[in-house]
């Protein structure tokens, strides 16, 4: 039995904000259960279980109908826990895999049949290192045959360095968590300016998730809202939203997902922007069945 502490709020409040029909959480994870899906021994994080049933209950409570589950280093390259969660709500839930850059095409095809639509690479100090840019671009050429994309999770100080390479990718690129910017440094900071310049390339998308990570304040993390709102208003057709449940490696007590949902009207202040962020953009980008 897994007795490690859970990383998510056990009883989030019901948000006041009402999700539009077809709303999508494009960034969340599942952990375990460890007795069925063992954690990777090399993972620095060995958390309490965050199984699909807990995720589904959260989604049903906050009004999420579609979802993209992102594989994390907790399970390494074994995407079985994510695949199991996807299959439980087949068609409405898809996945992003963790796979090595030299993954054979037949393995990509196998994961595609399971509902995966991209590969995530981490460039964060606390996670296993990602591929070199040349390797990443070669992989992109192969992913294009499957209609897959690259998802990049990187430290904010790496945005400017990696921007020219990512702009050359032959497939769409999704930048995680607003580039992991530090909200305390203000809107006119080098990493955020670099992210906005990168977003001028039409195949680059960004997730306005992780505002609680960008924030240096307690809930409701108001210092991060202007960054997300700027991205939503400037690039309304290439922004995506996600909960980041179950909030692995968060700096303090787990955030209340109801609080995070109630920030959406501040991030996307009009119905049109909310519809694009939560429904239209993910429907188009991930090619969900309408």
**CA–CA gap between residue 240 and residue 277 (Å, rounded):** 5
Give the other-Cβ count within 10 Å of 185's Cβ.
15
- Looking at 49, 176, 182, 244, which residue is catalytic? 244
Q: 84 catalytic, yes or no?
A: no
Q: What DSSP string describes 116-151?
A: EEEEEEEE-TTS-----HHHHHHHHHHHGGGT-EEE
Name all contacts of 190-198 with Cβ < 8 Å and 24+ positions apart: 190/160, 191/156, 191/157, 191/159, 191/160, 192/156, 192/227, 194/159, 194/160, 194/163, 195/156, 195/159, 195/231, 196/230, 196/231, 196/234, 197/163, 198/159, 198/163, 198/166, 198/167
- Please give the DSSP secondary-structure letter assigned to residue 7: S
Rg of the chain taking only CA atoms, in angstroms: 17
3-state secondary structure of 48: coil
**Token pair of 230, please?**
């700027």
- By annotation, the residues acting in catalysis are 244
């Amino acid at each position: 039995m897994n007795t490690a502490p859970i990383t998510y709020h056990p009883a989030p409040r019901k948000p006041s904000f009402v999700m539009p029909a077809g709303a999508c959480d494009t960034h969340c994870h599942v952990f375990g259960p460890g007795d069925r899906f063992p954690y990777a021994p090399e993972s620095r994080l060995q958390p309490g279980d965050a199984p699909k049933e807990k995720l589904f209950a959260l989604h049903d409570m906050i009004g999420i109908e579609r979802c993209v589950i992102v594989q994390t280093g907790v399970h390494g390259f074994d995407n079985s826990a994510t695949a199991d969660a996807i299959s439980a709500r087949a068609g409405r839930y898809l996945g992003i895999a963790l796979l090595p850059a030299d993954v054979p095409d037949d393995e990509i095809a196998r994961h595609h049949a399971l509902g995966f639509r991209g590969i995530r690479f981490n460039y964060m100090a606390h996670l296993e290192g990602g591929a070199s840019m040349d390797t990443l671009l070669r992989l992109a050429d192969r992913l294009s045959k499957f209609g897959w994309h690259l998802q990049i999770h990187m430290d904010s100080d790496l945005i400017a360095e990696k921007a020219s390479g990512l702009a050359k990718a032959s497939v769409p690129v999704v930048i995680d968590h607003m580039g992991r910017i530090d909200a305390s440094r203000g809107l006119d900071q080098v990493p955020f300016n670099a992210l906005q310049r990168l977003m001028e390339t039409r195949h680059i998308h960004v997730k306005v998730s992780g505002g609680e990570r960008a924030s240096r304040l307690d809930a409701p993390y108001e210092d991060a809202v202007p960054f997300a709102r700027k991205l939503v208003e400037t690039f309304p057709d290439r922004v995506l939203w996600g909960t980041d449940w179950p909030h692995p490696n968060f700096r303090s007590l787990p955030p209340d997902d109801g609080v995070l949902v109630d920030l959406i009207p501040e991030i996307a202040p009009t119905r049109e922007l909310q519809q694009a962020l939560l429904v239209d953009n993910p429907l188009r980008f991930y090619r969900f069945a309408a």
